[in-house]
């Protein structure tokens, strides 16, 4: 088990280096001069332009720039935004809890609905429920997030007026962030109705963000369950006289979870990517929206740093998934 963990960590380091290189090169392939963009409509003199290019190090050869960047990273410095002049890490950490809150709620919703739906669909294979779930999953998976989000806003916020259109909490409430998670902070603030307001703001973005993972989890659970239910050990479990709930809910599910957990782990990565769209639609002040804004402003250090931090988080989540995987699957845990 210990060696297994070491091996997994060993893979992460070169992957991370690869990401730094890709992030560094791709952002420089984008057309557009960051210094000119900063100047805006007024423009600037040749001399001032050159000075600013030198100040940010854009005048040096690309390889040197990369070397300097790696050196910075090694010292925990993810760069400074050329727009706000604040450290990228600091900006990221301020906005990150909003994304965590949204993604966490979305993945919890997706698992809570997708897992049982897939299980029941597999057990009642070919039934009306099965067809409904699978059609729903295919629809959910094929829907453009942007369109789906707008549709929900029009219906629930516009026509019915049940939920707010954007933001994390009503402007009526103000309190200092403690954890950065609005649900927790609003409870801690003790203000009447703050928690309920936070929940109402969270519902639509969560549903939109959960749609694709939910569809993927439901489909994966169903197919994994179908495969497992045909195994010999399920017959053994039934031959013991165990109840159908114990046979499917314990003996089959435990085995079916192995591929499902892998998918859930990959979906966390997808969520961070999906959050970019969802956060933009709902003006959710998270890192997805921040990344999009940074790209439009040609804020190289922010995009680069943000990309790296997101990549690092996805890798850490995947490491955790691998560990969970080993916990559930004894065949991995016990390989010598």
Partner 1 sequence: MALLDIRNLTVAFQTGNGMFTAVDRVSVSLSEGEVVSIVGESGSGKSVAMLAMMGLLPWTARVTADRMEFDGKDLLAMGSGEKRRIIGREITMIFQEPMSSLNPCFTVGFQLTEALKTHLRMGRKERRERAVELLNQVGIPEPVKRLSVFPHQLSGGMSQRVMIAMAIACNPRLLIADEPTTALDVTIQAQILDLLLKLQQDNDMALVLITHDMGVVAETAKRVMVHYAGQQVEHQEIGGLFANPHHPYTAALLAALPERAASKKLPSIAGVVPGQFDRPTGCLFSPRCRFVTDLCRSSEPPPAPAELGSALCHYPLDDGVPLNHPDGKEAV
- The owner of tokens 């050196």 is 71
> Distance between CA atoms of 47 and 58, rounded to whole angstroms?
15
74 burial (CB, 10 Å; 0-12 / 13-18 / 19+) is exposed
Does 155 engage in binding with partner 1 (CB under 8 A)? no
Query: 80 - beta bridge partners?
Result: 87
165 or 332: whose CB is closer to partner 1? 332
Contacts of 14 (CB under 8 A, 6+ apart): none
Does 238 engage in binding with partner 1 (CB under 8 A)? yes
Please pick, from the candidates 236, 273, 283, 316, the single residue that binds partner 1 as defined by CB under 8 A.
236
Does 251 engage in binding with partner 1 (CB under 8 A)? yes
44 or 242: whose CB is closer to partner 1? 242
The Cα diameter of the chain in Å comes to 85
193 or 244: whose CB is closer to partner 1? 244
7 or 125: whose CB is closer to partner 1? 125
Does 239 engage in binding with partner 1 (CB under 8 A)? yes
Evaluate whether 226 touches 160 at the Cβ level (below 8 Å).
Answer: no
Rounded least distance, CB 251 to partner 1, Å = 6
40 or 330: whose CB is closer to partner 1? 330
222 or 251: whose CB is closer to partner 1? 251
Does 242 engage in binding with partner 1 (CB under 8 A)? yes
Please pick, from the candidates 48, 51, 86, 254, the single residue that binds partner 1 as defined by CB under 8 A.
254
Rounded least distance, CB 224 to partner 1, Å = 13
Please pick, from the candidates 41, 47, 241, 245, the single residue that binds partner 1 as defined by CB under 8 A.
241
153 burial (CB, 10 Å; 0-12 / 13-18 / 19+) is buried
41 or 232: whose CB is closer to partner 1? 232
Binding to partner 1 by CB under 8 A, coded x per residue (else -) over 316-335, reads ------------xxxx--x-
19 or 328: whose CB is closer to partner 1? 328
Could you give the angle at the alpha carbon of 16 between the alpha carbons of 11 and 17, nearest 5°?
A: 105
> Distance between CA atoms of 23 and 290, rounded to whole angstroms?
16
Does 124 engage in binding with partner 1 (CB under 8 A)? no
7 or 235: whose CB is closer to partner 1? 235
Evaluate whether 323 touches 5 at the Cβ level (below 8 Å).
Answer: yes
Please pick, from the candidates 9, 162, 240, 283, the single residue that binds partner 1 as defined by CB under 8 A.
240
Query: 87 - beta bridge partners?
Result: 80
Evaluate whether 225 touches 123 at the Cβ level (below 8 Å).
Answer: yes
Footprint of partner 1 on 213-232 (CB under 8 A): 231-232
Rounded least distance, CB 240 to partner 1, Å = 4
Rounded least distance, CB 241 to partner 1, Å = 3
> Distance between CA atoms of 182 and 162, rounded to whole angstroms?
20
Reduce the secondary structure of 90-156 to three states and give it as a string: HHHHHHHHHHHHHHHHHHHHHHHHHHHHHHHHHHCCCCHHHHHHHHHHHHHHHCCHHHHHHHHHHHH
Please pick, from the candidates 139, 235, 273, 320, the single residue that binds partner 1 as defined by CB under 8 A.
235
Which residues lie near partner 1 (CB under 8 A)? Answer: 231-233, 235-243, 246, 251, 254-255, 328-331, 334
């Amino acid at each position: 088990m210990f060696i297994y963990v070491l091996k997994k960590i060993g893979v992460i380091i070169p992957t991370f280096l690869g990401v730094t290189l890709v992030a560094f090169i791709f952002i420089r392939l984008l057309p557009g001069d960051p210094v000119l963009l900063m100047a805006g409509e007024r423009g600037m003199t040749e001399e001032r332009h050159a000075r600013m290019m030198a100040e940010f190090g854009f005048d040096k050869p690309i390889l040197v720039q990369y070397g300097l960047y790696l050196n910075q990273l090694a010292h925990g410095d993810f760069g400074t935004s050329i727009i706000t002049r604040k450290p990228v890490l600091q900006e990221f950490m301020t906005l990150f809890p909003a994304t965590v809150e949204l993604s966490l709620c979305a993945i919890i919703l997706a698992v809570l609905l997708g897992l049982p739906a897939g299980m029941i669909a597999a057990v009642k294979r070919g039934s009306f429920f099965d067809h409904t779930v699978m059609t729903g999953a295919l629809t959910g998976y094929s829907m453009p997030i942007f369109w789906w989000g707008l549709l929900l806003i029009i219906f629930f916020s516009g026509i019915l007026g049940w939920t707010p259109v954007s933001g994390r909490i009503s402007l009526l409430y103000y309190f200092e962030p403690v954890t950065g998670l609005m649900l927790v902070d609003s409870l801690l603030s003790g203000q009447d109705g703050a928690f309920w307001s936070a929940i109402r703001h969270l519902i639509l973005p969560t549903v939109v963000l959960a749609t694709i993972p939910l569809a993927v989890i439901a489909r994966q659970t169903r197919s994994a369950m179908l495969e497992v239910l045909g195994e010999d050990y399920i017959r053994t479990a039934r031959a013991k006289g165990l109840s159908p709930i114990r046979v499917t809910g314990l003996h089959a599910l435990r085995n079916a979870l192995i591929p499902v957990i892998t998918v859930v782990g990959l979906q966390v990565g997808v969520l961070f990517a999906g959050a970019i769209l969802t956060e933009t639609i709902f003006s959710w002040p998270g890192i997805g929206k921040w990344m999009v804004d940074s790209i439009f402003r040609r804020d190289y250090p922010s995009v680069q740093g943000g990309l790296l931090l997101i990549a690092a988080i996805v890798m850490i989540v995947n490491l955790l998934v691998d560990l969970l995987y080993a916990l559930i699957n004894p065949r991995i845990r016990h390989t010598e």
